């Protein structure tokens, strides 16, 4: 364990008995404390910036990027538009990266490369950053940022994307999927413009990890502990994001909803070697029980966050499948 984390845990442990904090709670708090102080680790890879990706994957070269001004209830929300030069579009996507609610940026491949890949296939993308659960920020603030961006994007869909608002899809990976599904339920509940479909990659949709299959447990057992999402870690992340009371709000975690009727058609990608697979699997069943069209796909040989690795065959397959889903809508 890193020195900074040990120091932070020792400091926080004095309050553990009073606040009934678990070791996982302390680890999550230590991670958030460090990210708030340092801004997070710098990706050491030299080939995942936009220029490098466009050189490595020539099909991405015709995509143009521009910043878009979005202002939500808590202030400006960083967003970036991806459009292919002179390409007519039938569908568009608002895409939200992950990062355990405390990290992630528009520069990470899970945001940037995925958006480039969609746009290269003629599907314009508005990629969204959001306020992280740091320095006291909690639910609903990150979800509010995502919701505000969706409202902005659909209100100006013709100008931004060149498509009607009815053809805009909503998607996210990991914690981004949490925010997207929560915002979608809020749209439904408030009578807002609903997405043409929802696209999710290895999302966390429940504050308590559902039981996994024996196959997934066997595969994840060989992974380093720092890459695992054990039940205690999932619970700690959920509490850090939403608070002890907020975790039961469907706008925080859509999987706790008792009524998913009216949810849009959903493509749900899970990774086979990922503890969070069980959350995606269960949510797919919940949607089907509510009469929602769902396509669930388990990417074999893939781990959580594999969309952050553009060179991986599993990531390329996953992105192609997500693009195929969106492209299938008229």
| pLDDT of 170 higher than 80 | yes
Contact criterion met (CB below 8 Å) for 279 and 216: no
Specify if 315 maps to a domain: yes
Helix (H) or strand (E) holding 150: helix 141-155
Distances, alpha carbon 158 to alpha carbons 217, 236, 254, in Å = 46, 41, 29
Residue 310 lies inside a defined structural domain of this protein: yes
Looking at the fold, whether 29 and 98 belong to one and the same domain comes out as: no
- Of 242, 236, 286, 292, nearest to 264 by C-alpha is 292
- In this prediction, residue 9 carries a pLDDT of 47
Residues 122 and 255 in one domain: yes
Do 22 and 148 reside in the same domain of the chain? no
- Residues contacting residue 44 through CB under 8 Å, at least 6 positions apart: none
For residue 259, is it within any domain? yes
Token readout for 176 is 């981004």
The answer on 252 and 204 residing in a single domain is: yes
Q: Tell me what the mean pLDDT of segment 293-313 comes to.
A: 97
On whether residue 72 sits in a domain, the answer given is: yes
* Confidence band of 246 (pLDDT split at 50, 70, 90): very high
Same domain, residue pair 161 and 15: no
Whether residue 8 sits in one domain with residue 123: no
- Please write the tens of the pLDDT for every residue from 177-236: 999 999 999 999 999 999 999 999 999 999 999 999 999 999 999 899 888 999 999 999
146-161: pLDDT as tens digits: 999 999 999 999 999 9
Domain total for the chain? 2
**Predicted confidence (pLDDT) per residue in 80-137, tens digit:** 999 998 778 999 999 999 999 999 999 999 999 999 999 999 999 999 999 999 999 9
For residue 215, is the peptide bond before it cis, meaning its omega torsion is within 30 degrees of 0?
A: no
pLDDT band at 7 (very low <50, low <70, confident <90, very high): low
Confidence of residue 2 (pLDDT cuts 50, 70, 90): low
Q: How confident is the model at residue 60 (pLDDT cuts 50, 70, 90)?
A: very high
* Whether the bond into 140 is cis, omega within 30 of 0: yes
Q: Please name which of 110, 126, 87, 91 lies closest in space to residue 324, comparing C-alpha atoms.
A: 91
Print the domain residue range for 156: 68-327
Residues 127 and 208 in one domain: yes
| Domain CATH for 318 | 3.40.50.1820
Average pLDDT of the residues in 314-324: 98
pLDDT at residue 10 tops 80: no
Same-domain status, 230 and 309: yes
Instruction: For residue 220, tell me if it sits in a domain.
Output: yes
Domain match, 231 and 272 both: yes
| Mean pLDDT of all residues in 26-45 | 87
- Give yes or no: residues 169 and 317 share one domain: yes
Per the domain annotation, does 191 fall within a domain?
A: yes
Q: Same structural domain for residues 37 and 127?
A: no
CA-nearest of 182, 107, 113 to 142 is 182
Instruction: Mark whether 252 and 139 lie in a shared domain.
Output: yes
Asked if residue 49 belongs to a domain, the reply is: no
């Amino acid at each position: 364990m890193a020195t900074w984390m040990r120091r932070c845990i020792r400091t926080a442990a004095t309050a553990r008995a009073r606040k009934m904090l678990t070791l996982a709670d302390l680890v999550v708090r230590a991670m958030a404390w460090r990210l708030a102080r340092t801004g997070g680790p710098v990706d050491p890879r030299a080939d995942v910036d936009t220029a490098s990706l466009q050189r490595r994957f020539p099909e991405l070269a015709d995509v143009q990027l521009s910043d878009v001004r979005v202002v939500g209830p808590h202030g400006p929300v960083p967003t970036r538009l991806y459009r292919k030069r002179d390409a007519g579009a039938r569908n568009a996507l608002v895409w939200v990266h992950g990062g355990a609610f405390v990290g992630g940026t528009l520069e990470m491949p899970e945001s940037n490369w995925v958006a480039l890949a969609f746009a290269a296939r003629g599907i314009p993308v508005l990629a969204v950053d959001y306020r992280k659960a740091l320095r006291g920020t909690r639910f609903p603030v990150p979800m509010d940022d995502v919701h505000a961006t969706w409202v902005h994007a659909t209100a100006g869909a013709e100008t931004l994307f060149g498509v009607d608002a009815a053809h805009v899809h909503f998607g996210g990976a990991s914690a981004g999927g949490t925010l997207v599904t929560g915002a979608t339920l809020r749209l439904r509940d408030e009578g807002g413009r609903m997405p043409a479909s929802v696209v999710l990659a290895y999302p966390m949709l429940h504050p308590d990890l559902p039981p996994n299959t024996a196959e997934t447990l066997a595969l994840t057992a060989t992974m380093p502990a720092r890459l695992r999402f054990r039940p205690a870690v999932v619970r700690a992340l959920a509490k850090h994001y939403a608070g002890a009371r907020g975790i039961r709000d469907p706008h925080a975690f859509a999987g706790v909803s008792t009524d998913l009727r009216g949810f849009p058609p959903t493509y749900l990608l899970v990774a086979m070697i990922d503890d969070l697979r069980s959350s995606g699997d269960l949510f797919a069943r919940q949607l089907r029980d509510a009469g929602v069209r769902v396509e669930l796909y388990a990417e074999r040989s893939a781990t959580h966050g594999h969309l952050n690795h553009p060179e991986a065959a599993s990531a390329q397959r996953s992105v192609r499948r997500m693009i195929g889903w969106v492209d299938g809508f008229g």
